Structure 1
């Protein structure tokens, strides 16, 4: 009986530790970032090197995991004030700050080393992403709505990172991929900021551009969505080097963008959490399907 109890306790402890690791590295976000990087790799690669692809995926996960873990250490007192985050490992007390710091540092070192094995430029951009997210974006969140602008830089790196991993070069092609995800982040995060406004307010976060759930914020959401659509279809012009998009691909991407713009306009008219939630979900669907369309267009189009 005692042996069975000890086995159950150990199993329960391991399961909790694994769950805490997933939470502190934000496994859902990390996987979405890895997905973006893989899409960028397929776009840049002339031939698929599965070893490089695996290193990119593992290194990318550790890179994002490190950023998220450091972020949760820095924001632990504020996380404890919000319903959405109070049960995270550090603010809830399940994980000590020292343990979280060790996890974050190990992830950062592993992430950069593994990405360096891909090529030095990939490791450099990974390190820049961690630095900007933890040392610039995180401290600014309680000081200015411009934090979203700053946070859009590390957030836009993954799609670009895949191309750099495949080619070891940085030019117009990865720059375009960067800009697509850069402009996308504004309507995405402002939709989240609108939806979680009251919870963010408890911790002193003001994520909306005007600091309020008003028409001016909703109008900026529309403007950035339009810029996102323009940048997303721009490769159809043939002015983005090896990064191509067929007319058919451009039409599909444009239609996806118009769909997201519809929800942005709905937010402007309705100004409620239901509209913000729909826009947030539409934005997640948009970036996922756009990346799929780009990759499919390359291989189906024979570029």
Structure 2
């Protein structure tokens, strides 16, 4: 009997933990934390394990809070789409009050934790939550410009790490912000292209022209080019302490070229397969680019 009860409790805990991971979007949150820690390594004069742990925990809390608030606001729309109807709230596995408790708790924990690093880090973290939940989320059903607005909180993590390490905001974290800002357009428009019909079911306007057409594909190409240009700016010695060697810049430029290739392919073929390849290339790009920046600094 005890064994059966123990197994039941373990199963219940596993289900609760699975829903917690889903409402905080654990994979997205971890990728954001990775960006923040990369920014920290770029800005730090000396590496502090305590600071990294605070940044990682506080960053996860902030992203998790944003995602939880987002799913509370969009619960009725999530129920209309195949990819989201099984989320904790629309499926009925989690109540709105429970989700709200999680979101508020994570917000408080995140702000307080980041404040221990420095006030600027906590401020930018709080701004990110506000923009994501109060501006970006409501705009998603109103205008395609929501992606532009959402790119602001989405670009904060990379620069947040630098601010956490230095307690300063200048051209260096500003450059990191711009890199991730422009990267988001080809990434999210490729995703929006893939999921266009599902997004349409929920009333979301994610593509710049509202259609899977040449206009959208052309804008993806233009923003990819801007991303490539800004990503190698530190190689020209105009971004303060944020520097990049010529070999590293060439590698990053080549990786951007891969994204640009898939962007042109999407323009030519205008199909879901091309959009998916671009989306996957963009995920690889942002991760590898951040790794190259960090490795280039320390070798």
What residue number does 2:87 align with? Answer: 88
Shift of 1:177: 0.1
Q: Deviations over 1:9-63 (max 9, x none)?
A: 2111100000000000000000000000000000000110111111000000000
Q: Deviations over 1:240-275 (max 9, x none)?
A: 000000111110110010011001001000100000
Residue 192 (1) aligns with residue 173 (2): no
What residue number does 1:164 align with? Answer: 163
Which ranges of 4 or more aligned residues in structure 1 deviate by more than 3 Å?
Answer: none
| SS of aligned partner of 1:48 | coil
Shift of 1:127: 0.1
Q: Deviations over 1:153-181 (max 9, x none)?
A: 00000000000000000000000000000
What residue number does 1:121 align with? Answer: 120
After TM superposition, the structure 1 = structure 2 runs for residues 30-109 of structure 1, keeping only pairs within 5 Å, are 30-109=29-108
After TM superposition, the structure 1 = structure 2 runs for residues 1-303 of structure 1, keeping only pairs within 5 Å, are 2-300=1-299
Distance 1:263 1:288 in 2: 17
Distance 1:277 1:237 in 2: 33
| SS of aligned partner of 1:29 | helix
Distance 2:145 2:52 in 1: 34
Q: Deviations over 1:107-164 (max 9, x none)?
A: 0000000000000000000000000000000000000000000000000000000000
Distance 1:83 1:17 in 2: 22
Shift of 1:8: 2.0
| SS of aligned partner of 1:89 | coil
Count of matched residue positions in the alignment of Structure 1 and Structure 2: 299
Distance 2:104 2:258 in 1: 41
Q: CA-atom RMSD, angstroms?
A: 0.6
Distance 2:193 2:277 in 1: 11
Unaligned runs of 5+ in 1: none
TM-score of the aligned structures, taking structure 1 as reference length: 0.98
Unaligned runs of 5+ in 2: none
Distance 2:134 2:122 in 1: 18
Q: Deviations over 1:202-250 (max 9, x none)?
A: 0001100000000000000000000000000011110000000011111
Distance 2:82 2:230 in 1: 36
